[in-house]
Amino acid sequence: MIDNNVFRDVSYGLYIISTKYQERNVGCVINTLSQVTSENPVISFSVNKNNYTNEAIKATNKFGISIISEKIKEEVIYQFGYHSSRDVKKFANCTYEEVNGIPVVTEGMCSYLICELIQTVDCGTHDIFIGKVISSKKLSQEKEMTYRYYHEVIKAVAPKNAPTYIEEKNDEKGATESDNNSNRTKKDDEDIIEDSNETKTGNAISKEEAGRAKTKENEHETSGVFEKYRCIICGYVYDEAVEKVKFTDLPADWKCPRCGVGKENFAKVVE
C-alpha cells in the first residue's frame, strides 16, 4: 500500500525552467530541482512529458533555472505555472535576461543557473533532466520560496502536471479553503488556456452585463448571503462579499483571473 500523504513530508523549492526553442522564449515552473554534485556542479529535476518545455529542453539541450524568491509577483508564477508556452508568451510581462542565448527570469528571483543537458531519464509520465551547470549568478538576498510557503501563504495548489500532484476528491461537504488539492475536471495544466489576451477579455464585463449584475447585487445584498467559490485548478477563491457580484451572475465566458479556466471549474466553498 502507498499512502500518498507521505509525499507531503518531502521538502521542495520553486523554480522556473526556461530555454529558447524555435525562436521563442519558453519555460515552466518546477519544484523538483536538486543539486547532485558540488564539484563540477550537476543538477537534476523532472518535467511532465506533456509540457511544452519538456520538448524544448530535449531539442535545445540547454536551459536556465531561476530560483524563485518569496518576493516574486504571484502573477509571474501563475503565468509560468498554469499556462502553456505553446500558446502564451510567458516572458511578455516579466523582467528577464538572455544569457548564453537562454532567457532567464530575473524579476523576483534569488539567483539563476545556466546548464547544458547531459542526460535524460525516462520515468513514465515525467522525464528527469540532468544538467551540468556552466554559469550562475546571485540576483538578490531575498528568501527562496519553498513549496510549503507556496501552499500555505500564497494558498495556491499544485498543477496536475506537477510530479508532486496528489489528487483528492471533494467530500460531501464540497471544497474547503484549507484544501491544497481538489478533484479536477480539466486537462493538463499547461494546456488550460489558449491565449493570455483571451483571459483578459474573458474577464471584461460589458456595461449591460455590469448593470444586470448590479441589480442582482442589490437583490443579493438585501438577502445578505454571500458565498465563496474556489477554482479547483489553481485554488483561486472568488468571494462574493468582496466582488459584490454573485458568482452565478457572472457572464458565461468569465474566466479565473489566476489560471484562465471557466466557471465550470469552480466549486462552492463550505466553511
Contacts with Fe ion, residue ranges (CB under 5 A): 231, 233-234, 236, 256, 258-259
Closer to Fe ion at the Cβ: 20 or 258? 258
Nearest-approach distance from CB 167 to Fe ion, in angstroms: 16
Question: d(Cα 247, Cα 27) in Å, to the nearest integer?
Answer: 33
Nearest-approach distance from CB 87 to Fe ion, in angstroms: 16
CA angle at residue 269 from 263 to 271, to 5 degrees? Answer: 170
Closer to Fe ion at the Cβ: 24 or 186? 186
130: number of CA atoms within 13 Å, CB side?
Answer: 11
Closer to Fe ion at the Cβ: 28 or 259? 259
Q: How far is CA 79 from CA 72, 127, 145, 147, 250, in A?
A: 12, 22, 17, 17, 23
Closer to Fe ion at the Cβ: 41 or 174? 174
Question: d(Cα 15, Cα 145) in Å, to the nearest integer?
Answer: 9
Q: Is 171 helix (H, G, I), strand (E, B) or coil?
A: coil
Nearest-approach distance from CB 256 to Fe ion, in angstroms: 3
The CB density around residue 167, as the number of other CB atoms within 10 Å, is 10
Question: d(Cα 90, Cα 257) in Å, to the nearest integer?
Answer: 15
Eight-state DSSP code of residue 183: -
CA angle at residue 214 from 176 to 197, to 5 degrees? Answer: 70
Closer to Fe ion at the Cβ: 114 or 192? 192
Closer to Fe ion at the Cβ: 13 or 235? 235
Asked if 20 contacts 102 with a C-beta cutoff of 8 angstroms, the reply is: yes
192: number of CA atoms within 13 Å, CB side?
Answer: 31
Closer to Fe ion at the Cβ: 19 or 265? 265
* Residue 266 phi, psi dihedral angles, 5° rounding: -110, 145
Eight-state DSSP code of residue 263: G
Closer to Fe ion at the Cβ: 228 or 258? 258
Question: d(Cα 74, Cα 206) in Å, to the nearest integer?
Answer: 27
Nearest-approach distance from CB 111 to Fe ion, in angstroms: 29
